[in-house]
């Protein structure tokens, strides 16, 4: 019987953290999320940092995003859509980190079949502010399904909403 060495979760994490994406890949992901996904344009989602283990973005508050006019709260649908998009982006980054031998264009093409299969959002505090930060990380990347955890925060770092999601990746 032969034994096969399987990377531990810590070593897999270390490998992912050591990956540096090319500027061409980063700009391609930004174009997909900020330009080609029309609804992300509608809510004003802008992508910040993209690493294999964490992605960040932000949404600036505008009058057309208000869900409660008396308090100028951001609409819950904007929060959930933003968290869903960021979760998908985190999955894309994690998949890309596993395929660094591919060209940036080949890695960007891998995402054509990615889709949300489950999304849960917990609204913890009212979304009141001029700008909001969003973060996402992959909890598990399987061969068919990926699971993510996302956060929606005030610019001061106060946690306003959390999300978890599952995405089909095959």
pLDDT tens for each residue of 29-87? 999 999 999 999 999 999 999 999 999 999 999 999 999 888 889 999 999 999 999 99
Among the listed residues 133, 137, 33, 116, the one whose alpha carbon sits nearest the alpha carbon of residue 74: 133
- Specify whether the CB–CB gap between 145 and 167 falls below 8 A: yes
Among the listed residues 141, 68, 135, 161, the one whose alpha carbon sits nearest the alpha carbon of residue 99: 141
pLDDT at res. 1? 47
Chain-centre distance for alpha carbon 58: 11
Which of the following CATH numbers is that of domain 9-168: 3.40.50.1580, 1.10.10.10, 3.40.50.150, 3.10.129.10? 3.10.129.10
Helix-strand-coil percent breakdown of the chain, rounded to 5? 40, 35, 30
pLDDT at res. 111? 80
Confidence of residue 142 (pLDDT cuts 50, 70, 90): very high
79: buried, middle or exposed (CB in 10 Å: 19+, 13-18, 0-12)? buried
pLDDT tens for each residue of 1-27? 444 555 555 555 565 678 999 999 999
pLDDT at res. 9? 54
Phi and psi dihedrals of 53, rounded to 5?
-110, -10
Residue boundaries of the structural domains of the chain: 9-168
pLDDT at res. 170? 77
pLDDT tens for each residue of 89-131? 999 999 999 999 999 999 998 887 899 999 999 999 999 999 9
């Amino acid at each position: 019987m032969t034994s096969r060495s399987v990377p531990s979760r810590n070593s897999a994490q270390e490998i992912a953290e050591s990956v540096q994406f090319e500027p061409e890949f980063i700009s391609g992901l930004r174009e997909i999320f900020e330009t080609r996904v029309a609804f992300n344009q509608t809510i004003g989602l802008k992508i910040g940092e993209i690493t294999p283990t964490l992605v960040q973005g932000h949404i600036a508050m505008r009058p057309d995003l208000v869900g409660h006019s008396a308090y100028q709260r951001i609409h819950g649908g904007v929060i959930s859509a933003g968290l869903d998009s960021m979760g998908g982006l985190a999955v894309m980054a994690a998949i890309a980190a596993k395929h660094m031998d591919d060209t940036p264009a080949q890695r960007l093409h891998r995402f054509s079949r990615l889709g949300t299969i489950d999304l849960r959002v917990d609204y913890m505090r009212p979304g009141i502010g001029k700008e909001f930060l969003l973060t996402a990380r992959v909890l598990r990347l399987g061969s068919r399904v990926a699971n993510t955890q996302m956060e929606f925060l005030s610019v001061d770092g106060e946690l306003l909403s959390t999300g978890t999601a599952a995405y089909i990746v095959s």
